[in-house]
A = this chain, B = another copy of it.
Amino acid sequence: MNKKNEFKVEFLSISQNESFARIVVSAFAAQLNPTLEQLADIKTAVSEAVTNAIIHGYENKLGYVKIHGIIDDKGITISVIDEGKGIEDIEKAKQPLYTSKPELERSGMGFTVMETFMDEVIVESHVNKGTRVTLKKYLADTSD
């Protein structure tokens, strides 16, 4: 649990910032010298969580999405936080193919991707308060 590096970023909930979020997290994770596949996994999971904050959390209203990243002995922990509408039934939300926005052609596979690509996914949410998705990947630091 020795904290080795840390960052926080916040940005507007507009879809252009999805790629911004991926680049920021990739640049931070790169300090651990991950494999290309590990880096792609982290990038993908973050993309899912940030997209959810924008579409489902803020429902395309303007708000701030926050990301908090920590590198420690065990690997990398990324939290994606919104202060949007929250999730009523987290278990249901996590089910493959479940989506509350089929009209937007959402696949309902976001949480499934996060859980497959990361080692731990923790979802905390309060209706009308917001959602925090914590994504962990175990990675040994091979840098000097």
CA distance A19 to B24 in the complex (A): 11
Given contacts A20-B27, A23-B27, contact A10 B12 (CB under 8 A): no
Copies of this chain present: 2
Contact of A16 among B17, B24, B31 (CB under 8 A): B31
Interface residues of A in 90-110 (CB under 8 A from B): none
Choose one: B6, B14, B24, B31; the contact of A24 (CB below 8 Å).
Answer: B24
Q: For A5, what are the chain B residues with a Cβ–Cβ distance below 8 Å?
A: 11-12, 14, 16-17
Count A interface residues, CB 8 Å: 18
Q: A7 contacts B7, CB within 8 Å? A: no
Complex CA–CA separation, A132 to B125 (angstroms) = 36
Contacts of A8 in B (CB 8 A): 8-11
A5 to chain B, nearest CB (A): 6
Within 8 A of B (CB), among A16-30: 16-17, 19-20, 23-24, 27-28
**Which residues of B sit under 8 angstroms from A9, Cβ to Cβ?**
7-10, 24
Contacts of A11 in B (CB 8 A): 5-8
Interface residues of A (CB under 8 A from B): 5-12, 14, 16-17, 19-20, 23-24, 27-28, 31
